[in-house]
Structure 1
Amino acid sequence: MSIADIRTDYQRDQLTETDVAADPFAQFSRWFDQALTAGVPEVNAMTLSTVSAEGKPSGRIVLIKDYDQRGFSWFTNYDSAKGQDLASNPFASLLFFWIPLERQVRIEGRVEKLSDAENDTYFFSRPVGSQQGAHASHQSQPIANREALEQQLVDVVAKFGDQPPRPAHWGGYRLIPERIEFWQGRPSRLHDRIVYEKQTDGSWSIQRLQP
């Protein structure tokens, strides 16, 4: 079989204008909870796409850690490649793809850093090994080999033990959505797409898009 012949005809569900909640956060919560109940692997994994100062896009998988009416949050190293992108261009997109449910959610908007208090709360809730790893890894920077990385961790443990402070370069971001699209796979590639867009008065419009 050639790559061009690989395809799935989606037939699991449908999405209509009368199905969706008036508020996109309520709709996201509904779908997220359904994905959890269905046992979707890595349900909290999302593709984060950023754009550099030179206009070059880049995407990677990160884990959502919270969402509410303010937006969608994750944590990382501020000095990483994505952190540098967001420092120069504070707009990004998120993509969830829940394959067993044949669903996608696309979220676009402006990104802001979380507060020190929010960063501390989450950092100190992490396993100690993850706290130590935040110090040991100079994310996105070259390194000679695996042994050198492991030695950096040894050095961190020797310095801080099992009570490392939160590094100043480590923290969270929140994407404040301007556009959220819910996609449900349908037969013959005639997928359902319902998009919410933030209006100037703070309300959300709801519209169907062609697949």
Structure 2
Amino acid sequence: MKLTVLGASGGTGREVVRQALAAGHEVTAVVRSGARSAADGGRGRLAVTTVEDVTDPAALGPVVRGRDALLFCPGLESPRSPGRLGAVAHALVRAARAAGVRRLLVVSSAPVGPLPPDEGVLGRAVSPVLRAVFKDVYAEAAAMEAELAHSGLDWTVLRPGKLTNRRGKGRYRRRVGGNVPGTGTLARADLARAVLDLLDDPAVRGRTVGLGSARG
């Protein structure tokens, strides 16, 4: 597939690019000015570029046209400015519509969604604290999700727990339409695998998918 990865200079985006190339996809990696994607090689299947203003649909046009899917992997730890993620998502949706690209996957965060009904005692105790401390971060992610929900595109929102740089397990837990109980942490390598696994899965189109580390 021909993929565009926005946020390719971040920890998750870099891993998505690496695994996509290893799987034989053709990748356009959109990075911050002065940054580079960590993925090398790809035998001509990797193009690294910057976009001057990612909140401008016209500026996104060249990296969107002719692609089979768009993957947005923003860093959610500390949004740089209010409304940023919602504005980027709005521009990405408009650019995708103009280019006739329908498939769009976005990485969000588990606390944006409600606790699952089978969440444990610890999760129920910790969740309100996290939501209070990082309320601005989750508000940004919620605005981004809202843009997708009203886009009319074949979108999927992935909601992992706290991301780590640990070695991936090569597997993960998932729940379509809700968070997994005891979400905990998830290696970026496993998140990237989930992103690519779900590209062609019709069951997750127009749905949120909760992700957690595999147990055992």
TM-score tier by shorter-chain length is under 0.3
Higher radius of gyration, 1 or 2: 1
TM-score by length of 2: 0.24
Q: Which has more helix, going by share of residues?
A: 2
TM-score by length of 1: 0.24
